[in-house]
């Protein structure tokens, strides 16, 4: 589940940072407009939260991570002078020891430079706070990279960004340094708090076409492994987070086979679950007509009925469309129907409307292939 939450946070944070920085091509996965006045109204704690979220989840490839993070820091007017005192101390001690050595050499008091290792030890002591902070930042960055498996993170850029924050600003913050959901819920709450300050009331996550990635390639078993961690009641009912999971019908049989522990965790009885996402014939007719009108020349308003001759009645057309269930099957069938009709006539003797015989024949073949797909015996 934490990997899914990391993915949601990554998409949301990347899109938010894109719009705050005003990049030319912001992430299309996020639909939001940010006003500059709202950004300026963020307090220091909110700016820190946004910088930490960007540190962990910003996945833009338009520019380097370091440059983008510092650009965001300047946009938020988050100044970190106090975070650089360890380096300032090291430089100050080094300069002081060097000045002392030069003075002693200039006054022929080289005896005071012995033993030389004492001065080197003082220089090393001056750099100890910076080295300790560098080590802690490196260790924290490595833990983040190890446990955030979504996206492409590198240790050194994260360490460099962490060096710009004081220990107090990082302490007790819910960073994703372990394989657990507690930190991610806290991070999600921080993102929601920022969005609320920017004028947004919640987050909507849409999940669709999970059968299409090449690593899944239509495998119901792999789809189950991907989706099942998300079926957690605490996650699905998280305040301010709306999730719409449009899942293939093949997963239904896996739900029916699950044990009591799964149902106690998912609490499907509390979810707005629709077992079969089917459209009515009338709705599919309207969708097809709207698609035709979108492609029509100005002034024309064609409908799906205009493609068929009088032998195909309106009732038969709507009734047969109902058997196609979803727009995906509707348009695949219409494509096959148009191809069959065009192949049945020559250019010298064209037929501009589809007769009932062609319609019924193509529909019967398509429904047979569709039924074979539902029974895992063929492909539509």
Q: Which is nearest to 149 in space by CA: 80, 56, 82?
A: 56
Numbers of helices and strands, H then E, in the chain = 17, 2
- In angstroms, the CA 307 to CA 189 distance is 52
Sign of CA dihedral 108, 110, 111, 112: positive
Whether 323 is in a domain gets the answer yes
Residue 378 confidence class, pLDDT cut points 50, 70, 90: very low
Whether 352 is in a domain gets the answer yes
DSSP annotation of 311 reads T
Whether 127 is in a domain gets the answer no
Query: Looking at residue 105, what is its pLDDT?
Result: 66
Q: Which is nearest to 332 in space by CA: 297, 367, 305, 361?
A: 367
Looking at the fold, whether 39 and 146 belong to one and the same domain comes out as yes
Looking at the fold, whether 193 and 310 belong to one and the same domain comes out as no
Looking at the fold, whether 293 and 368 belong to one and the same domain comes out as yes
- In angstroms, the CA 200 to CA 176 distance is 24
Residue with tokens 């319609």: 359
- In angstroms, the CA 180 to CA 2 distance is 6
Residue 160 C-beta-side C-alpha neighbours within 13 Å: 12
- In angstroms, the CA 236 to CA 249 distance is 20
Looking at the fold, whether 364 and 346 belong to one and the same domain comes out as yes
Compute and round to an integer the Cα radius of gyration of the chain: 31
- In angstroms, the CA 358 to CA 313 distance is 14
Looking at the fold, whether 183 and 265 belong to one and the same domain comes out as no
Looking at the fold, whether 209 and 304 belong to one and the same domain comes out as no
Helices (H), 32-84: 36-40, 44-57, 65-75
Whether 29 is in a domain gets the answer yes
Looking at the fold, whether 60 and 148 belong to one and the same domain comes out as yes
Looking at the fold, whether 25 and 67 belong to one and the same domain comes out as yes
pLDDT at 377 over 50: no
Query: Looking at residue 243, what is its pLDDT?
Result: 87
Per-residue pLDDT averaged across 237-251, rounded? 85
Residue numbers of the domain that contains 311: 281-374
Final residue in a domain of this structure, among 169, 197, 225: 197
Per-residue pLDDT averaged across 209-214, rounded? 84
Reported as a single tens digit per residue, the pLDDT across 323-373 is 888 888 899 999 999 999 999 888 888 899 999 999 999 999 998 888 777
Joined together, the tokens standing for residue 43 give: 């307090």
Whether 359 is in a domain gets the answer yes
Residue with tokens 């930042």: 137
Q: Give the strand pairing for 241-245 and 203-207.
A: parallel
Looking at the fold, whether 51 and 173 belong to one and the same domain comes out as yes
Final residue in a domain of this structure, among 149, 172, 197: 197
Joined together, the tokens standing for residue 229 give: 């961690």
Query: Looking at residue 229, what is its pLDDT?
Result: 86
Whether 345 is in a domain gets the answer yes
Residue 379 confidence class, pLDDT cut points 50, 70, 90: very low
Residue 288 confidence class, pLDDT cut points 50, 70, 90: very high
Please work out, in degrees rounded to the nearest 5, the angle formed at the alpha carbon of residue 228 by the alpha carbons of 226 and 232.
Answer: 130
Whether 86 is in a domain gets the answer no
Residue with tokens 């096959």: 336
Joined together, the tokens standing for residue 275 give: 């077992």
Give, for 345, the enclosing helix (H) or strand (E). Answer: none
Looking at the fold, whether 176 and 64 belong to one and the same domain comes out as yes
Reported as a single tens digit per residue, the pLDDT across 113-136 is 677 667 678 778 888 888 898 898
- In angstroms, the CA 196 to CA 23 distance is 22
Looking at the fold, whether 183 and 262 belong to one and the same domain comes out as no
Final residue in a domain of this structure, among 197, 223, 241: 197
CB 134 within 8 A of CB 159: yes
Whether 88 is in a domain gets the answer no
Reported as a single tens digit per residue, the pLDDT across 11-31 is 888 888 888 887 777 777 777
Looking at the fold, whether 155 and 45 belong to one and the same domain comes out as yes
Q: For the chain, what is the domain count?
A: 3
């Amino acid at each position: 589940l934490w990997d899914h939450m990391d993915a949601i946070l990554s998409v949301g944070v990347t899109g938010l940072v894109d719009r705050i920085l005003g990049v030319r091509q912001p992430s299309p996965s996020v639909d939001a407009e940010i006003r500059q006045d709202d950004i300026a109204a963020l307090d220091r704690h909110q700016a820190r939260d946004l910088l930490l979220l960007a540190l962990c989840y910003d996945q833009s490839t338009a520019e380097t991570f370091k440059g983008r993070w510092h650009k965001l820091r300047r946009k938020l007017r988050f100044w970190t002078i106090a975070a650089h005192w360890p380096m300032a101390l090291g430089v100050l001690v080094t300069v002081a020891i060097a000045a002392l050595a030069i003075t002693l050499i200039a006054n022929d008091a080289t005896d005071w430079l012995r033993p030389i290792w004492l001065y080197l030890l003082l220089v090393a002591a001056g750099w100890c706070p910076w080295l300790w902070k560098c080590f802690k930042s490196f260790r924290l960055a490595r833990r983040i990279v190890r446990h955030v498996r979504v996206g492409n993170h590198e240790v050194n850029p994260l360490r460099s960004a962490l060096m710009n924050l004081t220990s107090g600003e990082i302490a007790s913050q819910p960073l994703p340094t372990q394989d657990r959901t507690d930190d991610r819920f806290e991070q999600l709450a921080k993102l929601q708090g920022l969005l609320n300050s920017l004028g947004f009331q919640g987050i909507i996550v849409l999940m669709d076409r999970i059968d299409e990635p090449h690593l899944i390639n239509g495998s119901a078993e792999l789809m189950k492994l991907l989706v099942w961690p998300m079926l957690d009641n605490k996650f699905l009912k998280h305040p301010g987070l709306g999730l719409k999971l449009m899942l293939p019908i093949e997963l239904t049989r896996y739900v029916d086979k699950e044990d009591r522990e799964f149902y106690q965790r998912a609490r499907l009885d509390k979810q707005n679950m629709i077992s079969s996402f089917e459209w009515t014939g009338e709705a599919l007719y309207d969708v097809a007509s709207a698609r035709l009108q979108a492609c029509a020349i100005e002034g024309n308003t064609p409908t799906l009925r205009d493609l068929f001759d009088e032998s195909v009645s309106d009732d038969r057309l709507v009734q047969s469309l109902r058997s196609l269930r979803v727009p995906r099957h509707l348009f695949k069938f219409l494509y096959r129907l148009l191809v069959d009709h065009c192949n049945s006539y020559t250019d010298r003797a064209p037929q501009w409307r589809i007769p009932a015989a062609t319609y019924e024949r193509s529909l019967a073949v398509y429904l047979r292939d569709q039924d074979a797909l539902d029974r895992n015996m063929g492909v539509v």
